[in-house]
Amino acid sequence: MQLQQLTLANEQRCFAGRQLRFQHRSTVLNCDMQFSVFLPPQAEHEAVPALYWLSGLTCTDENFSSKAGAQRVAAELGIALIIPDTSPRGDDVADDPDGAYDFGLGAGFYVNATQQPYAKHYQMYDYIVDELPQLVEAELPVSQTKSISGHSMGGHGALVIGLRNSERYRSISAFSPICQPTACPWGKKAFQGYLGDDQQLWRDYDASLLLAAAERVLPIRVDQGDADNFYPEQLRTDALQAANDKRQAGADIRLQAGYDHSYYFIASFIEAHLRFHAQYLLAK
């Protein structure tokens, strides 16, 4: 593998494919970053479509790859998994001043920060939408055909990015997403810190508001556990359902009995999500 901009940090054989971890310098985030990739065996012979997975609060790029059990089905289907980190990293990257888990490092919320000191590094929206796909498609056997998914804060990111960039993706899915961050404690804290007082900017990162007003909506699947300790206060799934009904968008929003917010929930339904995306990623 001849790499120009990526440094290979780890590689493991997995379901006849390869689980990889790369390091690179991000111009957008102004720091060194790392991300994980699963390349299915089909990538040995041709460029394959990709599912971008956005993780939740406190996670890195390794949580999904080690806990979700997605590689087996991704290998069968011939879909790459691209798993970025959840925030910029480094000694000079500003963190929450109180060291809280829901802001700063590990909690980038997939926005472009406008407030200092966060604006210098926290440009996660542009990183996910532009810089990372360009890098992946240039350096790895991955095509421009892609879908997006995520969990919790990452589910918020997947919905927002997919709704705002419907021409770039084939489909969207989410587990336990933060559906209305303009109205929940996590979202209010993050948006105030990253975006300041201009609540019009907040609206640009609210999936429920974006879905209600969307001109074009991709296929969407959302799964939410009814035993999730963050449901409904932080996640506000009902707001997304109301927007879906108003827009008649056809999103498949499912409340799953007895499931919580953990990776056990994700592992239980990841195959269904991968097969959902495969309908669109593999369509000619």
Residues with catalytic roles: 152, 228, 261
- At residue 20, the 3 state secondary structure works out as strand
Return the ∠ at Cα 284 (arms to 275 and 132), rounded to 5°: 70
* Residue type (1 letter), 57: L
- Quote the CA–CA distance of 255 and 162 in Å, as a whole number: 21
* Residue type (1 letter), 114: T
Q: Which of 230, 218, 237 is nearest to 276 (CA)?
A: 218
Cβ atoms of 37 and 22 within 8 Å: the answer is: yes
Cβ atoms of 256 and 224 within 8 Å: the answer is: yes
